[in-house]
Structure 1
Amino acid sequence: MEIKIGVTGWGDHDSLYPERIHSSKKLRQYCNHFPIVEIDSSYYSIMPKSNYQKWVNHTTSDFSFVVKAYGGITGHARQNYSKEEQIKLLKPFLDSIQPLIENNKLKGVLFQFPPWFNCKKENVEFLRTIKNELTSVPAILEFRNQSWFFPQYADQTLSFMSEEGWIHSICDEPQAGMGSIPTVLHPTNKELTLIRFHGRNVYGWNHNGQENWREVRYLYRYNREELCEWVDKLETLSRHTKEVCILFNNNSGGDAANNAKELMKLLGIEFGPSSTEQLELF
């Protein structure tokens, strides 16, 4: 099993960069540390193709991106889109990421659904419709409502994901009631599984809406023991999927990059592009 480890975004991880590096140089430098990154700016708006082309140009040939789907598609937008309007947003979103697809740098599109997207027939059909529109795009699915993994639904949820071709986004996150999901070590795609580390800050997770909630929600540093737990878990996953991509999202306090490197060390993963792939920083 191949394992690739990275973090969400590349701009806020101060430990990775020289003190005075310009923001436009950070992605080039990031490639010297990790082989994959999650683009989350795509969640807030449908960006122009030129943004993605620039990121293609700034990365090494074997680098890859997980792109977080636009929030209007997954029901996060402030606009009250109908389901039909959400589906229509797929086309401009997919058009925008074509440079990643054409340059073989798209690892997958992450569809993260909100806590109010619960397990019911209407939402199952919506997922099926979205997947039918995606054709050859690797589609990753992450829930934020616990009902999908209630005992009476968990097997059906996982079977549905397998049958429809969804890649499972397995989460390490606070166990904080209905708005969180358990860690379910069940790949639904034999080629790829995604794992996202959100931290275990129960207080921050449950205080969505407070003035500083974005600052505290992912404020968490994994200790060595917690990361060691995942060494065995990854061994379990290795029997069922060819590749695992791991993204650390616990960056409210700047901990993601350090935790990612610590897990790489525990797993014996050494990373760094060859001298011919080193990208100029200045």
Structure 2
Amino acid sequence: MIYIGVTGWGDHDRLYPAKTPRRDKLKEYAAHFPIVEIDASFYAIQSKRNTEKWVNETPESFQFIVKAYQGMTGHQRGESLFPGKKEMFAAFHDSLQALNAADKLSAVLFQFPPWFDCKKENVDYLRWCKQEISEIPVALEFRNQTWYEAPFYDKTLTFMEEEGWIHTVCDEPQAGSGSIPIVLKATDLDKTVIRFHGRNVHGWRNTGDGNWREVRYLYRYNQKELEEWAENLHFLEKQSKNLYVLFNNNSGGDAADNAKQMIDLLGINYEGLAPKQLDLF
């Protein structure tokens, strides 16, 4: 099964009727896509109230990919809100209870920063993370090219297979050591995550401006690029039972459109989506 969606649900205004309140956008989003990535969890460990609300607002078959909290992946700067990493992981794990109990949690996504390179202490930390997150399915995304360089390429993929990490296949600009190549290899027979970050090479390199995040993901995939990726998805489908495809190129509002295009290209007709609202008022 190929599940296609986007990262977050608050900024895709083309999907929603005019004047849709932010609090109602997830309900409407679930009428279009069967999966979403929760990126709010990267900035703050979410309350049970939030996760229970998300469970109740989505259809029974709806799925979530939850992005790991920034303190768990080495992005956080400044003082931690927790006395130690174990307490941080325990709080994050606890926040997943409602999603897990409802069978709506596909995976937790650990996306590591560009400075997280391939070396022993980082491999050891990955093992520790996997142990602390316990039975929850975990997907792994690197932002440092060393993991896929010739001396480590096979070892990296074998490590993921042996340690139980779901491989996150990325499409992103090839802009030096802070980007990774497309690696069409599943490490889990059941699940593979695919994330589309766009191909804005200039934006990927330019991290000095205050609005660098908006510039980085400003990209719209054209028909030819999507057709090539449709073939890649069929290739990955032979290796892994379920593919979770997430478009993250939304600085210009293109992610939802590209996701819809991919659904059409693959001829997918999802069942069990939420009913669409014809008019809110």
Could you tell me the TM-score, scaled by structure 2's length? 0.95
User: 2:161: which partner in 1?
Assistant: 162
User: 1:14: which partner in 2?
Assistant: 13
Q: Indicate how the Cα distance of structure 1 residues 267 and 279 shifts in structure 2: closer, same or farther if over 3 A, else same.
A: closer
Q: CA deviation at 1:278?
A: 2.9
Q: CA deviation at 1:79?
A: 2.5
**Residue 183 of structure 1 aligns to which amino acid in structure 2?**
I
User: 2:41: which partner in 1?
Assistant: 42
User: 2:250: which partner in 1?
Assistant: 251
Q: CA deviation at 1:269?
A: 0.8
Q: Given the alignment of the two structures, is residue 278 of structure 1 paired with residue 275 of structure 2, yes or no?
A: yes
Distance 1:149 1:186 in 2: 12
SS of aligned partner of 1:136? coil
Q: CA deviation at 1:209?
A: 3.2
**Residue 278 of structure 1 aligns to which amino acid in structure 2?**
P
Equivalent positions of 1:17-28 (< 5 A) are 17-28=16-27
Q: How far does the alpha carbon of each residue in 1:165-195 deviate from its partner, in whole angstroms, 9 at most, with x for none?
A: 0000100000010000001001000000000
Distance 1:209 1:36 in 2: 33
SS of aligned partner of 1:246? strand
Q: Which moved more, 1:262-271 or 1:157-166?
A: 262-271
Uncovered stretches (5+) of structure 2, i.e. residues with no partner: none
SS of aligned partner of 2:84? helix
Distance 1:132 1:73 in 2: 13
User: 1:109: which partner in 2?
Assistant: 108
User: 1:201: which partner in 2?
Assistant: 200
Q: CA deviation at 1:28?
A: 0.5
**Residue 241 of structure 2 aligns to which amino acid in structure 1?**
K
% identity of equivalent residues: 56
Distance 2:139 2:148 in 1: 17
SS of aligned partner of 2:199? coil
Q: Which moved more, 1:209-218 or 1:183-192?
A: 209-218
**Residue 138 of structure 1 aligns to which amino acid in structure 2?**
P
**Residue 144 of structure 2 aligns to which amino acid in structure 1?**
N
Q: How far does the alpha carbon of each residue in 1:29-50 deviate from its partner, in whole angstroms, 9 at most, with x for none?
A: 1111000000000000112111
**Residue 60 of structure 1 aligns to which amino acid in structure 2?**
P
**Does the aligned pair in 2 maintain the 1:68–1:109 contact within 8 Å?**
yes
Distance 1:53 1:124 in 2: 34
Q: CA deviation at 1:88?
A: 3.5
Uncovered stretches (5+) of structure 1, i.e. residues with no partner: none
**Does the aligned pair in 2 maintain the 1:8–1:248 contact within 8 Å?**
yes
Distance 2:225 2:85 in 1: 38
| Deviating 4+ runs (over 4 angstroms) | 279-282
Distance 2:252 2:271 in 1: 25
Q: Given the alignment of the two structures, is residue 65 of structure 1 paired with residue 59 of structure 2, yes or no?
A: no
**Residue 22 of structure 1 aligns to which amino acid in structure 2?**
P
Computed over aligned residues only, the root mean square deviation of the Cα atoms, in angstroms, reads: 1.5
